[in-house]
Amino acid sequence: MAYYKNTDDTIRSVSLYGRTEKKFRFAFSNFLDSFYRASQEERIIMISEEPAEMQDRVHLAILAAAANRLANLHGVPVPSWVYKGMYFLDESEPYYDNVNHAEYREWLRRTTPLEFSSRHLFLGADVLSRA
């Protein structure tokens, strides 16, 4: 397997750079942009390494869900690290990204991909979309 040339655009690099909400969103967006234009071999490398430890459990769960979903959508192997318990939120603490409206939350529950909803992350069908 070849070495992926842009080490700034990996799941691990998002975890290292994204220590605040703003930095996380920025790094995650850059990662997605790079992932979508990468070759299959590069995609495998980009999601293969486990994230660094982070204080924010939601961010860790999002990274695992994203790696899981992207692998499934793009036909690359799902890294085994995504199934570790630390990447799943407790059922008692579902995450809706500050959405408080009950009907909207229900819509998010219905439309969120399984790789996210199984981790109690309810972010909707377009969670990995880029504008």
61 in Cβ contact with 96 (< 8 Å)? no
Give residue 131's pLDDT: 65
How far apart, in Å, are the Cα atoms of 82 and each of 28, 61, 65, 117, 118? 16, 9, 7, 14, 12
Give residue 6's pLDDT: 55
Give residue 130's pLDDT: 81
Per-residue pLDDT tens digits of the chain, which is 131 residues long: 444 455 579 999 999 998 899 999 999 999 999 999 999 999 999 999 999 999 999 999 999 999 999 999 999 999 999 999 999 999 999 999 988 999 999 999 999 999 999 999 999 999 999 86
Give residue 99's pLDDT: 86
- Strand-pair partners of 95: 121
HSE (side-chain half, CA atoms, 13 Å) at 23: 10
Neighbours of 78 (CB within 10 A): 15
CA atoms of 97 and 25, how far apart (whole Å): 12
70 in Cβ contact with 42 (< 8 Å)? no
**Which burial class, exposed, middle or buried, applies to 111 when counting CB atoms under 10 A from its CB (0-12, 13-18, 19+)?**
middle
